[in-house]
Chains A and B, each alone.
Chain A
């Protein structure tokens, strides 16, 4: 069904960014515009999601060019759900940054760039054209480069060099893949590609092309041999920026993998086994890193890598139950990882450090916020009624059915290590007394009440969303059930884009 308004979430963030550019250097105005824009974006995303949920896949032919020739935007259930979750996380980060980002950084244009980043994310989820996906990827990485270097401290710039070099390399791989794919099939529309790819005789060349995409998305989503840029850069920018990166950027890689491997290159046995091996190694190396890190944000960076492995494993198995696990974990992970970095920022505000050795006594001083944080930590670990628990059941079940015992072992290992490091963090940061030789530099207490609320409220919003997902697991399972059906049987997607004549 054609709907001309599915690009709403993209345009709202674009206009928000433009208005903020007009209000250059007026930080108070920018904060208000950012909050309003993010809120409107969330409303539009909710409207889009309900419309897609009730009426089916919506498409938009940009410039009114018919489908395989022009650029097409498609909102299916996967895209619209991700747009909804991204908008929610965007609203939380936008509220948090109004206090959590230093005025100096706001003067250099933090807010407009942040909204360009969210616009890029929404665009990447909604596009149905593979080259357009590349363009949105570039919008995302250019904005993320600026956010990463904003402030210009030495460690930050050093991290940014590594981040920039590897992300540009990933884009080159992606672009090369697109070039070869266009040479083979003569099309860029993903629905059209899924039809034309079946007619290609040279399967070997297709295998090589799919490897280009795998490497490109693998670097972006931090899969095993390609993840080194992540832990060496994510601990350097301010926490609000790290929250956007940690929660959303690696997940775009996962989304692109889901989309490309379900629609264009259906994984064969070799790709599946490769993905399973990568998943196991990603989980193990991520865990190893998390075990030795004592800086909270470095710890979280390695946990991101570890949990990416869970999702890659689900894509590797590529059965309905496994995809349901991956999708559920993806939704849960965006909310929780964004929240974890916001929590790290809050701790930094309260104690002036993020090193576990010199932290302590937070529970005694702030019992209410500590309990709120405990909910988030529990759902990251996957304590039963909370959101991290349900997707793991699907992954376990399917790994047993398909006899991938190495992946089962890695899942158990990953979950245990997550439990261990989070328990250690809880006891070190919240329960332990403040170490005797440490001076507390509390920037939180002197803040006015409104500012305090702005720091804690976003964590509350995201924690509530996590609780909602966990306690309403049955509805979410129905949702991911429908999404995984759409991913495995793409005829509805193709029909929505190309119309009936091509089937």
Chain B
């Protein structure tokens, strides 16, 4: 299981970096999403994969009787997912606006000569 996840993480990071280095805006977006997912899987792996019970303990229990999974990686990943959800949503709206204005998917076209601004 660990080996499988390690390969998956490598693939996600590699694909993410490759996509970010492309010139297309859509691929930039995909690259950002891959990198975010890769980081989440990495935290999941490094939190330790156990076959423990879910870390929800019965109210009546007075002490730990079983092996419980570490709840912290879950909290971290949940937070990271929420954040990457917001970032991705923003990135989609932004890139869509830019596409409508520039009318090109090529990141190299984003160099409008200097224009007076506010």
Contacts and interface: CB of A to CB of B under 8 A. Distances in A.
B70 to A, nearest CB: 8
A473 interface: no
A138 B87 contact: yes
Chain B interface residue number, banded: 35 or more
A188 interface: yes
A102 B87 contact: no
A157 B97 contact: yes
A354 B116 contact: yes
A152 interface: yes
B43 A182 contact: yes
Interface in B61-118: 72-73, 76, 79-80, 83, 86-87, 90-91, 94-95, 97-98, 101-102, 107, 110-112, 114-118
B36 to A, nearest CB: 6
B112 A155 contact: yes
Given A152-B97, A161-B110, A355-B116, A183 B46 contact: yes
Nearest to B28: A165
Contacts of A179: 39, 42-43, 46, 76
A329 to B, nearest CB: 29
Given A176-B39, A180-B46, A236-B117, A158 B79 contact: no
Chain A interface residue number, banded: 35 or more
A160 interface: yes
B117 A155 contact: yes
A154 B110 CA distance: 9
B5 to A, nearest CB: 12
B97 A175 contact: no
A371 interface: no
Contacts of A172: 16, 32, 35-36, 38-39
B90 A151 contact: no
Nearest to A154: B101
Contacts of A182: 43, 46-47, 72-73, 76
Nearest to B95: A161
Contacts of A149: 94, 97
Nearest to B32: A168
B47 A183 contact: yes
A368 interface: no
A464 interface: no
B115 A155 contact: yes
A138 B116 contact: no
A348 to B, nearest CB: 7
B118 A102 contact: yes
A81 to B, nearest CB: 28
A18 interface: no
Contacts of B115: 154-155
A182 B43 CA distance: 8
Interface of B: 16, 20, 25, 28, 32, 35-36, 38-39, 42-43, 45-48, 72-73, 76, 79-80, 83, 86-87, 90-91, 94-95, 97-98, 101-102, 107, 110-112, 114-118
26 contacts: A102-B118, A135-B79, A135-B83, A138-B87, A142-B83, A142-B86, A145-B94, A149-B94, A151-B118, A154-B101, A155-B114, A155-B117, A161-B95, A161-B98, A161-B110, A164-B91, A165-B32, A168-B91, A169-B20, A172-B38, A178-B43, A179-B42, A179-B76, A182-B46, A295-B114, A352-B116
